[in-house]
C-alpha cells in the first residue's frame, strides 16, 4: 500500500522535502536528534562515496574513515588557524581531502583486490597516528577546535545548511553515476580489458574515482567538524571504515538509495542499543550477517519495484579476486 503510494513521484518528493523541513520540529528542536540526523548525513555521504568507488568502480577501500579525519582536520585548520569563512573552508576541505585521495589513488591504480585493500587499510590506520604526532599542525592528542560559522547563529540554521549540502551531494553523485564518467567506471569494473579496448584510459579513471570519492568524504568530515566544533585523532578510526563498508553491502552495492539505507540503519541502531551494556556491536554484527545471508543484494532489493533500472553489482570473482591468477599460484 505504502509502496504503491510511493510510486507517485511528486508525492514522494514532496514528502521528502516536508520531512526534511519539519524534522527539527518533529523532534522538538532537540539537539540530540539533530546531531543524530547530521551524523547520519555524514555517514550517508561517506557510504555513497565509498559505493561510488566499490559498487560502481570495483575498487575496494577499507580506509575511508581516514578521509573523514582529513576532512575534519582540514576544516579545523582552515577555519580556526587560517580563519577562512564557512563557504570557502568546506569546499577547500573537500579539495584537500581530494588531493590526499589523489596521492592514494596513484599507486592504487596498480593494485587490485586484497593488495588494494591492504594499501587503503594502511592509510586508514596511519591517518590517526600521523594526526597524533603532527602536533604543530593538528594539536596532537588534544585535538583542534573548529570555529563555528557566524552567519548561522544557531545549530538550528546550521542543521538546514547541512541537510541542503547532503541533498546536493546526493544529487551530484547520482548524476556522476549516470554520466559518461559513471559508465566508464562501470565498464572498468566489469572488465578492464574490454574497457581498455573501447578506449577508456584506465589509470586516469581509476585515479579520478579515488579523487571524487575522497572529495565528498572530505566534505562529510568537514560537516562533522563544523557540527561538533572539535576534531580529535580518535573521531574516525579503522572500525568506522569497516562499518561504512558494511553499510554499503548491507544497503546494496552499486545503489545510491542502498548506501543511504545502510547509513541510516547503522546510525540509528546505536540509538536503541546504547543504553544496554555492551550490545551495540553485537546487534550490528548480527544485522550484517543476517541481512547478507537473506538479502545478498542488500536491503534495497526489497524495494526494487522496477528492478531493471538498477545496475547489477559485480558477480563472483570480480571484486576481490585477481582472476586467472590461481593457475600460477605458488604454494
Partner 1 sequence: MQIIVSGLIFGCIYGLAALGLVLIYKTTDLVNFAQGEMAMVTTFVSFTFLSQFEMGYTTSFLLALLFAAVFGAIVHQGIMKRLQSAPPLNQLVVTLGLFMVFNGLAGLIWGHKPAGYPQAIKGDSIKMGSVFFTPNEIFVMGITLTLMLIFFVIFRYTKVGLAMRASAQDIKASQLMGIKVTNVFTATWAVGAILGGVAGMMTAPITFLDTHMMFDVLIMAFAAAVLGGFLSLPGAVVGGLIIGVFENLIAFYLSPELKLVYTFLLIIIVLYIRPQGIFGGTQSVKKV
Partner 2 sequence: MMRRIKLLLLPLLIFSLCLMAACGNGTAKKGSTGSQGTQGVTDNEILIGHLGPQTGPYAVYDYFRKGIDSHFKYVNENGGVNGKKLKLVAYDDQYQPSRTVKNATRILQEDKVFAMIGNVCTPCNTAARNTFEKSGIPMVMVSSGAEEFVNPPIKNYFGSSILNYRVETRVFLDYAANELKAKKIAVVYQNDDYGKEGLTALQENIDKYEGATLVDEIPYVAGETDMSSQAQHLDQADPDAIIVLGGPNPAANLKKEMYKIGLKDVPYIVSSVGANDRNQFKLAGDDIWEGTISAATFPMPDVSDDPSMKQYVERFKKDYPNDPIDGFAQSGWAIAEVMVEALKRTEQGGKDLTWENFYDAMHTFDNWDGSIFEGVTFTKDNHYGLTTMILTEAKDGKILPISDQIKFDPASGEITYED
DSSP symbol at 330: -
Binding mask 167-206 for partner 2 (x = CB under 8 A): ---x---x---x----------------------------
C-alpha distance across the termini of the chain, in Å:
57
- Taking CB under 8 A as the binding criterion, the range among 39-47, 73-81, 170-178, 320-328 that sits at the site for partner 1 is 320-328
The residue (of 117 and 264) whose beta carbon lies closer to partner 2 is 264
301 binds, among partner 1, partner 2, none (CB under 5 to 8 A by kind): none
What minimum distance in Å lies between the beta carbon of 127 and partner 1? 9
Cell digits of residue 161: 545548511
Among 53, 76, 253, 260, which residue sits at the site for partner 1 (rule: CB under 8 A)?
A: 253
What minimum distance in Å lies between the beta carbon of 35 and partner 2? 5
Distances (CA, A) of 53 to 13, 59, 73, 77, 253: 27, 6, 23, 27, 10
Closest by Cα among 224, 235, 222, 248 to 124: 235
CA distance 216 to 229: 20
158-188 CB burial, b ≥16 within 10 A, e <16: bbebbbebbeebbeebeebbeeebbebbbbb
115 binds, among partner 1, partner 2, none (CB under 5 to 8 A by kind): partner 1
Binding mask 22-61 for partner 1 (x = CB under 8 A): --------------------------------x-----x-
For 305, counting Cβ atoms within 10 Å of its Cβ (0-12 exposed, 13-18 middle, 19+ buried), the class is exposed
285 binds, among partner 2, partner 1, none (CB under 5 to 8 A by kind): partner 1
> Scanning residues 74 to 133, which ones bind partner 1 (CB under 8 A)?
107, 110-112, 114-115, 117-119, 121-123, 125-126, 129-130, 132-133
Cell digits of residue 251: 544497503
Cell digits of residue 263: 547509513
Bridge partner residues of 144 (DSSP): 231
Cell digits of residue 135: 602536533
3-34 CB burial, b ≥16 within 10 A, e <16: eeeeeeeeeeeeeeeeebeeebeeeeeeeeeb
Does position 216 bind partner 2 by CB under 8 A?
no
Binding mask 182-221 for partner 1 (x = CB under 8 A): ---------xxxx---------------------------
Q: By CB under 8 A, name the binding residues for partner 2.
A: 2, 6-7, 9, 12-13, 15-16, 19-20, 23, 26-28, 30-33, 35-36, 39-40, 129, 132-133, 140-143, 170, 174, 178, 224, 228-230, 232-237, 239-240, 255-257, 260-261, 263-264, 268, 270-272, 274-275, 277-278, 280-281, 300, 303, 306, 309
Amino acid at each position: 500500500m505504502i509502496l504503491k503510494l510511493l510510486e507517485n513521484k511528486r508525492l514522494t518528493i514532496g514528502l521528502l522535502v516536508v520531512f526534511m523541513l519539519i524534522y527539527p520540529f518533529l523532534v522538538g528542536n532537540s539537539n540530540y536528534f539533530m546531531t543524530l540526523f547530521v551524523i547520519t548525513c555524514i555517514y550517508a555521504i561517506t557510504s555513497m562515496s565509498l559505493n561510488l568507488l566499490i559498487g560502481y568502480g570495483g575498487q575496494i577501500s577499507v580506509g575511508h574513515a581516514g578521509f573523514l579525519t582529513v576532512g575534519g582536520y582540514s576544516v579545523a585548520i582552515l577555519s580556526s588557524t587560517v580563519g577562512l569563512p564557512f563557504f570557502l573552508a568546506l569546499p577547500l576541505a573537500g579539495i584537500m581531502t581530494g588531493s590526499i585521495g589523489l596521492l592514494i589513488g596513484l599507486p592504487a591504480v596498480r593494485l587490485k583486490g586484497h593488495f588494494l585493500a591492504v594499501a587503503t587499510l594502511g592509510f586508514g590506520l596511519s591517518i590517526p597516528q600521523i594526526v597524533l604526532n603532527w602536533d604543530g599542525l593538528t594539536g596532537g592528542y588534544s585535538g583542534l577546535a573548529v570555529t563555528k560559522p557566524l552567519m548561522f547563529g544557531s545549530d538550528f540554521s546550521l542543521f538546514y545548511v547541512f541537510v541542503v549540502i547532503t541533498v546536493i551531494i546526493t544529487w551530484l553523485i547520482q548524476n556522476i553515476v549516470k554520466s559518461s564518467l559513471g559508465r566508464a567506471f562501470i565498464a572498468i569494473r566489469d572488465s578492464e580489458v574490454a574497457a581498455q579496448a573501447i578506449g577508456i584510459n584506465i589509470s586516469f579513471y581509476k585515479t579520478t574515482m579515488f579523487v571524487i570519492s575522497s572529495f565528498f568524504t572530505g566534505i562529510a568530515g568537514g560537516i562533522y567538524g563544523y557540527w561538533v566544533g572539535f576534531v580529535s585523532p580518535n573521531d574516525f578510526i579503522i572500525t568506522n571504515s569497516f562499518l561504512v563498508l558494511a553499510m554499503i553491502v548491507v544497503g546494496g552495492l552499486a545503489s545510491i538509495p542502498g548506501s543511504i539505507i545502510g547509513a541510516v540503519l547503522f546510525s540509528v541502531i546505536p540509538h536503541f542499543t546504547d543504553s544496554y551494556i555492551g550490545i551495540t556491536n553485537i546487534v550490528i554484527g548480527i544485522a550484517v550477517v543476517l541481512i547478507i545471508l537473506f538479502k545478498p543484494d542488500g536491503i534495497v532489493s526489497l524495494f526494487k519495484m522496477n528492478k531493471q533500472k538498477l545496475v547489477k553489482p559485480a558477480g563472483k570473482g570480480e571484486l576481490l579476486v585477481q582472476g586467472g591468477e590461481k593457475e600460477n599460484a605458488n604454494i
